[in-house]
């Protein structure tokens, strides 16, 4: 009898669970607010098709929350008579009562209306949410100095703000105030377009957020912002102008290549170097420019008025037979002539540039000894003499002869234990010593 009792109870339990679940689901559907999204009005600079598409993005984002029943233009045409529809679509922006009266048949809880237009290079989107009493319950305005295609992010941002308001958890979010010099930089938070500086972005979810600023002619800026609930974080930044990837100093006749900064493993990463190339250690470099080619005999003659080289085969051959002190006098004269502030690269800068921006390269441009002949002059292919600069392949940064041809002087003083004393950022060994570091020779 006990066994029979168990089998009787189980169907009753399942039936009860199904009835309760269906009742709950039915109740949830009934509790959904009905939102009417009126097509955005075109205020100039935007076609009606584009305004309709932006309206659809707004409707879709709100619908995807699963909390609202969305009604749109098609629902208006289906339920309202022709006069009601025309009156509703023609109501002035400040006449919410007109709108409410003519869409009464739709029995909506709230109405979302607004417009989009272009003023100069700036798109402006204005949205208002109207309650059942005809009051503007919330008003949002976003602007974007951007292409029309980027307005999808603007609509997503507005819909997010509306949803947070409707959910009643505005106070549980934070805000970010972003100002930049110069202003008018595009703001992206976690990849979503969020306006232009100066701007206060409301309803940002708490936590670590990625802030990116973009301004034409300037370097992109990226940083993490810790957003706290109910608080506003203020970010003040200076945007750096774009640096040209390469330039030629006409006064010196020298071509320079921009090396973007970064971190890399410096030292004997292949395990076949000397003790003075150890230990392997991470160093981080800032941006810098470096000569595209080795300094030529012609450039030296132009600055110094002499040519100390042994292999005087042409003005495009690298200068050699110059001491570190000779090089310092060359730089002093070069700076006087150009008005610039040139110097030798540090050893860390040289190695970072030679490795194509800190990559794990055994030679400048390649890891293959078989391919080395395409990138460098060395004992077995040079005839034991120098060759014109730039005849072999460059490395990935476009720098020539970083391996081979002639040795290249750097700023650092030589010490076999220098790597043990390097600082982590832009290191240079400057303690006393009789010798200077040379790199890159054949």
Question: How big is the chain by its Cα radius of gyration, in Å?
Answer: 34
Range with top average pLDDT, 100-114, 180-194, 377-391: 377-391
Give the chain's count of helices (H) and strands (E): 10, 20
The token pair that represents 163 in the structure block: 């949803």
Kindly state whether residues 234 and 158 are assigned to the same domain: no
Look at residue 442 in the predicted model and tell me its pLDDT.
57
Asked whether residue 118 falls in the same domain as residue 221, the answer is no
Q: In 3-state terms, what secondary structure has residue 287?
A: coil
Q: Are residues 260 and 401 in the same domain?
A: yes
- CB of 87 closer than 8 Å to CB of 105: no
| CA dihedral sign, ordered 9, 13, 14, 18 | positive
Residues 180, 169: Cα–Cα separation, whole Å = 29
Burial 166-191 (b: 16+ CB within 10 A, else e): beeeeeebbbbebebeeeebbbbbee
- Pair (353, 433) in one structural domain: yes
pLDDT beyond 60 at 5: no
20 domain residue, yes or no: no
Q: How far apart are CA 357 and CA 279, in angstroms?
A: 20
pLDDT exceeds cutoff 90 at 377: yes
**Euclidean distance between CA atoms 224 and 308, whole angstroms:** 54
Report the phi/psi class of residue 183: left, alpha or beta, with left for phi > 0 and alpha for psi in -120 to 50.
beta
DSSP label at 285? E
Q: What band does 172 get if pLDDT is binned at 50, 70 and 90?
A: low
Q: Which domain holds residue 130?
A: 34-140+152-166
At residue 17, does pLDDT exceed 70?
no
Q: Looking at the structure, do residues 254 and 400 belong to the same domain, yes or no?
A: yes
Closest CA to 165 of 112, 209, 207: 112
Judged by average pLDDT, the poorest of 111-120, 185-194, 323-332 is 185-194
- For residue 387, what is the DSSP state? -
Counting the structural domains of the chain, the total is 3
CA distances from 439 to 62, 119, 328, 430 (A): 62, 57, 17, 17
CA dist., res. 14 & res. 344, Å (int): 82
Domain membership flag for residue 7: no
Residue listed under structure tokens 């308001």: 165
Are 127 and 190 in the same domain? no
If asked whether residues 128 and 273 sit together in one domain, one would say no
- The two tokens of residue 439 are 């790199």
Q: Is residue 21 part of a domain?
A: no
Cβ-proximal residues to 308 (8 Å cutoff; 6+ apart), any chain = 300, 319, 320, 321, 322, 326
The 3-state DSSP class for residue 428 equals coil
Same domain, 291 and 425: yes
Residue 168: per-residue pLDDT: 65
* Same-domain pairing of 298 and 392: yes
The pLDDT of residue 29 is 45
pLDDT at residue 205 above 80?
A: no
Is 147 contained in some domain?
no
- 368 with 256, same domain: the answer is yes
Three-state helix/strand/coil letters over 189-217: ECCEEEEECCEEEEEECCEEEEEEEECCC
Residue 134 · residue 100 · CB < 8 Å: yes
Q: Which residue, 225, 241, 257, sits at the end of a domain? A: 241
CATH number at residue 298: 3.90.1580.10
Q: How far is CA 112 from CA 33, 53, 140, 142, 204, in A?
A: 13, 15, 11, 15, 21
Q: Is residue 27 part of a domain?
A: no
Q: What pTM value is reported for the model?
A: 0.54
CATH code assigned at 233: 2.60.40.1120
pLDDT at res. 143: 81
- Give residue-wise pLDDT tens across range 306-359: 999 999 999 999 999 999 999 999 999 999 999 999 999 999 999 999 999 999
Helix (H/G/I), strand (E/B), else coil: 146: coil
Q: Tell whether 255 and 383 lie within a shared domain.
A: yes
The structure tokens 């370097």 sit at 219
pLDDT reported for residue 133: 85
Report how far residue 134's alpha carbon sits from residue 251's, in angstroms, rounded to the nearest whole number. 71
Give a yes or no: residue 12 inside a domain: no
Cα-based distances in Å from 357 to 69, 257, 289, 350, 364: 55, 12, 12, 10, 10
191, 75: one domain? no
- The residue among 241, 264, 284 that closes a domain is 241
Question: What sign results for the dihedral spanned by CA atoms 94, 96, 101, 103?
Answer: positive
CA dihedral for 167, 168, 173, 178, sign (positive or negative)? positive
Would you tell me how many other CB atoms lie within 10 Å of the CB of residue 74? 8
Mean pLDDT estimate for the chain: 86
The verdict on residue 15 lying in a domain is no
């Amino acid at each position: 009898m006990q066994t029979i009792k168990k089998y009787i109870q189980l169907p009753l339990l399942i039936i009860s669970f199904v009835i309760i679940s269906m009742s709950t689901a039915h109740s949830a559907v009934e509790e959904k607010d009905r939102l009417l999204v009126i097509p955005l009005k075109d205020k100039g600079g935007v076609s009606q098709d584009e305004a309709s598409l932006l309206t659809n993005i707004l409707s879709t984002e709100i619908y995807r929350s699963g909390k609202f029943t969305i009604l749109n233009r098609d629902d208006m045409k289906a339920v309202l008579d022709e006069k009601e529809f025309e009156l509703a679509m023609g109501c002035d922006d400040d006449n919410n009562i007109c709108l409410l009266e003519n869409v009464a048949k739709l029995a909506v809880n709230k109405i979302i209306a607004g417009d989009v237009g272009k003023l100069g290079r700036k798109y402006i989107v204005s949205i208002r949410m109207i309650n059942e009493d005809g009051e503007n319950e919330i008003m949002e305005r976003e602007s974007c100095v951007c292409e029309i295609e980027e307005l999808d992010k603007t609509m997503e941002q507005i819909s997010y703000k509306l949803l947070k308001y409707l959910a009643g958890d505005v106070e549980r979010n934070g805000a970010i105030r972003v100002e930049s010099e110069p202003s008018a930089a595009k703001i992206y938070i976690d990849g979503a377009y969020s306006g232009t500086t100066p701007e206060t972005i409301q309803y940002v979810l708490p936590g670590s957020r990625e802030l990116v600023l973009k301004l034409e002619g300037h370097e992109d800026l990226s940083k993490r912002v810790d957003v706290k609930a109910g608080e506003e974080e203020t970010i003040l930044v200076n945007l750096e102008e774009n640096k040209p990837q390469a330039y030629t100093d006409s006064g010196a006749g020298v071509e320079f290549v921009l090396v973007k900064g970064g971190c890399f493993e410096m030292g004997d990463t292949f395990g076949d170097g000397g003790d003075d190339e150890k230990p392997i250690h991470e160093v981080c470099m800032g941006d810098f420019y470096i000569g595209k080619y080795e300094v030529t005999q012609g450039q030296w003659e132009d600055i110094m008025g002499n040519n100390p080289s042994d292999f005087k085969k042409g003005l495009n051959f690298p200068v050699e037979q110059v001491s570190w002190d000779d090089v310092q006098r060359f730089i002093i004269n070069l700076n006087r002539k150009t008005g610039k502030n040139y110097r030798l690269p540090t050893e860390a800068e040289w190695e970072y540039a030679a490795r194509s921006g800190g990559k794990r390269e055994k030679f400048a441009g390649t890891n293959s000894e078989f391919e080395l002949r395409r990138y460098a002059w060395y004992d077995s292919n040079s005839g034991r003499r120098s060759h014109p600069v730039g005849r072999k392949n460059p490395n990935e940064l476009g720098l020539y002869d970083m391996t081979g041809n002639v040795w290249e002087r750097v700023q650092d003083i030589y010490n076999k234990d220098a790597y043990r004393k390097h600082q982590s950022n832009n290191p240079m060994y400057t303690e006393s010593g009789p010798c200077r570091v040379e790199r890159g020779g054949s």
